[in-house]
Amino acid sequence: MFRVKKALNHNTVIAINMDDNQEYLLIGKGVGFGRKVSERIEAPEGSTIYSLREYTERGNAVDLVKDIDPVFLEIAEQVLKESERIFGRIDWRILFPMADHIAFAVKRIQNHEQISNPLTGDIQALFHMEYKTAECIREILRERLQVEIDEHEVGYIALHIHSAIEDENVALSMQIARTVRECIQMVEKETGQTIDVMSLSYNRLMNHVRYMVARVIKGEKLKLNMNDYMSVKFPDAYRLASEVCKHVESYLKQPLDETEVGYLAMHIERVAVDDE
């Protein structure tokens, strides 16, 4: 049972849980319609109950809820429910950061200030399922706000979805995509070839960098050291791999285990060979 503190609109209310006396955001069809302060209500079936004690990257949820138009909280909830349907368990703490991003994206679009993201193609490849899921926002925005969203904005929503299903914040996901792109550019420059971002070899390299970063964060190490073999057999690939690993270290401010260089070199060499 909840006690209404404030109805934000027809579908969103701030309410106090009578069991723990804490504030929650309730999002559900008609949950706020005609509600009065202190009225006792049950959370509608299928509604989202979000604790306002949560702390996000932008601050406390209890403060953020005052600044975000509730329609964007509802839109973010729709996207996250679709994400939950596709991926199963998700971290609902991304609700406010996602709603905040959507609000700014809509404002940019309405002001004809749409952005271009050079990493959109990489995001589509690196987080393929997240991107496909994020595309649901096109119809949601079209229906609710008569706004058309482009693939660059969908890419950013995909990063938020990825953050909700993995222990990885949006900034880190973007850096992984950027690191993969820089790695590909190094290989392209070295070989004089253009690598198709949708190719299998690109996909292998991309995912290796992605999981390499995850291993650094979790403190995990590879069991086999291929450095001596790769440095002698494929010195150019090994040199490139060393440069990429140094770049990753500088961003994460954490040292990579030395065994990462050899494995990355193997994937770089594979990309170079497959694209010859």
Q: What is the CATH number of the domain that holds 157?
A: 1.10.1790.10
State mean pLDDT over 217-246.
90
pLDDT for the residue numbered 26: 94
pLDDT at residue 195, as a whole number: 77
Query: Please, which pLDDT band fits residue 66 given cuts at 50, 70 and 90?
Result: confident
Q: Which is it for strands 40-41 and 48-51: parallel, antiparallel or unpaired?
A: unpaired
Domains held by the chain: number: 3
Instruction: Say yes or no: 17 and 42 in one domain.
Output: yes
Answer yes or no: is 172 within a domain.
no
β-bridge partners, 55: 60
What's the start-to-end Cα distance of the chain, in Å? Answer: 66
**Predicted pLDDT at 56:** 65
The answer to whether the CB of 186 falls within 8 A of the CB of 238 is no
pLDDT tens for residues 199-211? 787 788 888 888 8
Is there a domain that residue 23 lies in?
yes
Q: Average model confidence (pLDDT) for the chain?
A: 87
Position 273 scores a pLDDT of 67
Q: Are residues 190 and 246 in the same domain?
A: yes
Residue at 239 is within a domain: yes
Is pLDDT larger for residue 263 or for residue 166? 263
Summarize the confidence of residues 98-125 as an average pLDDT: 88
**73 and 155 inside one domain:** yes
CA gap 220, 231 in Å, rounded: 23
| This prediction's pTM | 0.79
Last residue of a domain, one of 30, 53, 76: 53
Phi, psi (deg, nearest 5) at residue 20: -115, 0
Separation CA 160–CA 50 (nearest Å): 17
